[in-house]
Chains A and B, each alone.
Chain A
Amino acid sequence: MTKFTLPAFPYAQDALEPHISKTTIEFHYGKHHQTYVDNLNKLIVGTEFENSTLEEIVLKSSGGIFNNAAQVWNHTFYWNCLNPKSPLKPEGKLKEAIDKEFGSFEEFKEKFTTASVTLFGSGWAWLVKNQEGKLEIVQTSNAENPMRQGKTPLLVCDVWEHAYYIDQQNRRPAYMEAFWNLVDWKKVEERY
């Protein structure tokens, strides 16, 4: 039987300060992410997903199992999109693709920020590569994940209120500014 565990945090919990506080990480990673892992382990007992990988569950399940599995996947991916020592801009082939699709990095940032700020309710904003290899910015609601539409996630921003309420309260645009200081463009490029 599969037992999922909370993946180790990829850097120190205060490493994202001053952009994202240690307290936010303690709750967001230590409580929310952990709870999704615990819930998933509880929910899959005795189901067809008992021996599945996380990705299989995300792709095939529904209801409570899907919500918790996808939130485990999304959060692990989110933490791996951030890096306190990252270059502030994409490079190489990814830079070319962004310039080609969105005009410039600044225009891409603006579009991604708009997608993040206008998402109503809880959810995620993503940069993905679609099946034709083209870049797209998509919004998903609650736990939803673009892999289910055959798209490859490259970058994600968590816009559930718990992602920013401790640091920014209602100010989602301020959270977006913090986010742009932390994006790990090297990893985004690798995924591309």
Chain B
Amino acid sequence: MKRILITLFVFSLIIPFTNLKAQSIEKKNKVSVEERNQFSLMKLPYSLDALEPHISKTTLEYHYGKHHKAYVDNLNRLKKGTEFENATLEEIVLNSKGSIFNNAAQIWNHNLYWNGFTPKSSLKPIGSLKEAIEKEYKTFENFKEKFNSVSMSLFGSGWAWLVKNQEGKLEIVQTSNADNPLRQGLTPIIGCDLWEHSYYIDQKNNRAAYLDAFWKVINWEIAEKNYKK
């Protein structure tokens, strides 16, 4: 009898623990299921101050740390319970509209933008992209001038892009707000963010000065990779 009581007592001690353990495993699994469907803010391939003096650490703290992060948080919230709950970012960009599209496309656009920079820029295109630029625009300087004028003339918020069209030719295009050239079957090679939040801390209203800075941090190796896609 005494033994039975002791055994029961011991079990009564163990059972809550096993329950707790089971619960914690369950909780962990639940979190990981949720996490699998959640987008997270990309890691920057350089430190926040790496693009100085061209683009300041403060700009990155806001542009990457606040704006880009807010698009990620918004999308995770908005897609819950919709057909896009388990979709990839690119699927959402290609097929959604309204707020889900706006936030998804802004994540995609900013990913390309940050990945397209390096503190050690070659300052000039390389490889097959260099050849394609010279074929299409005669010189790199001429190309830059055209890209700058497309960027300067965009009215409101949006982006300027160097893209490859379906015939494999280069084009410079503007898009408004979050819009993305993928939706027109174009392949983005370089994206320049022209929302005022990209340059207001460093340059205020001087978009031209921002474009000068922009060309100093372009990662032409990444641009070449994007071109070859």
Interface residues of A (CB under 8 A from B): 27, 31-32, 35, 64, 67, 120-123, 141-143, 160-162, 165-166, 169-170
A83 to chain B, nearest CB (A): 25
Contact of B178 with A170 in the complex, beta carbons under 8 Å: no
Cβ-neighbour of B155 out of A27, A31, A142 (below 8 A): A142
Question: CA separation between A56 and B201, bound complex, in Å?
Answer: 36
Chain B minimum-CB-distance residue to A26: B204
Q: Please name all residues of chain A whose beta carbon is closer than 8 Å to the beta carbon of B195 when the two chains form the complex.
A: 121, 161
Task: Say if the beta carbon of B139 comes within 8 Å of chain A.
Answer: no
Cβ-neighbour of B196 out of A31, A123, A160 (below 8 A): A160
Contact of B62 with A170 in the complex, beta carbons under 8 Å: yes
Q: Please name all residues of chain A whose beta carbon is closer than 8 Å to the beta carbon of B204 when the two chains form the complex.
A: 27, 31, 166
Cβ-neighbour of B200 out of A35, A122, A166 (below 8 A): A166
Per-residue contact bits, chain B 195-208, to A (CB 8 Å; 1 contact, 0 not): 11100110011000
Contact of A121 with B156 in the complex, beta carbons under 8 Å: yes
Contact of A120 with B177 in the complex, beta carbons under 8 Å: yes
Question: CA separation between A143 and B176, bound complex, in Å?
Answer: 13
Cβ-neighbour of A165 out of B99, B102, B158, B200 (below 8 A): B200
Known contacts A35-B205, A120-B177, A122-B157; A162 and B66 CB within 8 A of each other: no
A86 to chain B, nearest CB (A): 28
Task: Say if the beta carbon of B48 comes within 8 Å of chain A.
Answer: no
Q: Please name all residues of chain A whose beta carbon is closer than 8 Å to the beta carbon of B62 when the two chains form the complex.
A: 169-170
Interface residues of B (CB under 8 A from A): 62, 66-67, 70, 99, 102, 155-158, 176-178, 195-197, 200-201, 204-205
Question: CA separation between A67 and B155, bound complex, in Å?
Answer: 8
Q: Please name all residues of chain B whose beta carbon is closer than 8 Å to the beta carbon of A161 when the two chains form the complex.
A: 157, 195-197, 200
Contact of B157 with A162 in the complex, beta carbons under 8 Å: no
Contact of A121 with B155 in the complex, beta carbons under 8 Å: no
Chain B minimum-CB-distance residue to A67: B155
With most chain B CB atoms within 10 A of its CB, the pick from A165, A166, A169 is: A169
Chain A minimum-CB-distance residue to B101: A120
Known contacts A120-B178, A121-B177, A161-B196; A141 and B205 CB within 8 A of each other: no
A-B contact pairs, 13 of them (CB 8 A): A31-B204, A35-B205, A64-B155, A120-B178, A121-B177, A122-B196, A161-B195, A161-B196, A162-B200, A169-B62, A169-B66, A170-B67, A170-B70
Chain A minimum-CB-distance residue to B176: A121
Contact of B157 with A121 in the complex, beta carbons under 8 Å: yes
Q: Please name all residues of chain B whose beta carbon is closer than 8 Å to the beta carbon of A31 when the two chains form the complex.
A: 204-205
Question: CA separation between A165 and B155, bound complex, in Å?
Answer: 18
B66 to chain A, nearest CB (A): 5
Question: CA separation between A122 and B194, bound complex, in Å?
Answer: 11
Question: CA separation between A169 and B66, bound complex, in Å?
Answer: 10
Q: Please name all residues of chain B whose beta carbon is closer than 8 Å to the beta carbon of A122 when the two chains form the complex.
A: 156-157, 196
Extra 9 A-B pairs, beta carbons < 8 Å, given A121-B156, A160-B156, A161-B200: A31-B205, A67-B155, A121-B176, A122-B156, A122-B157, A123-B156, A165-B197, A165-B200, A166-B204
Q: Please name all residues of chain A whose beta carbon is closer than 8 Å to the beta carbon of B102 when the two chains form the complex.
A: 120
Question: CA separation between A27 and B207, bound complex, in Å?
Answer: 13
Question: CA separation between A143 and B196, bound complex, in Å?
Answer: 15
Q: Please name all residues of chain A whose beta carbon is closer than 8 Å to the beta carbon of B197 when the two chains form the complex.
A: 161, 165, 169-170
Contact of B66 with A170 in the complex, beta carbons under 8 Å: yes
Question: CA separation between A120 and B70, bound complex, in Å?
Answer: 13
Question: CA separation between A123 and B195, bound complex, in Å?
Answer: 12
Contact of B156 with A141 in the complex, beta carbons under 8 Å: yes
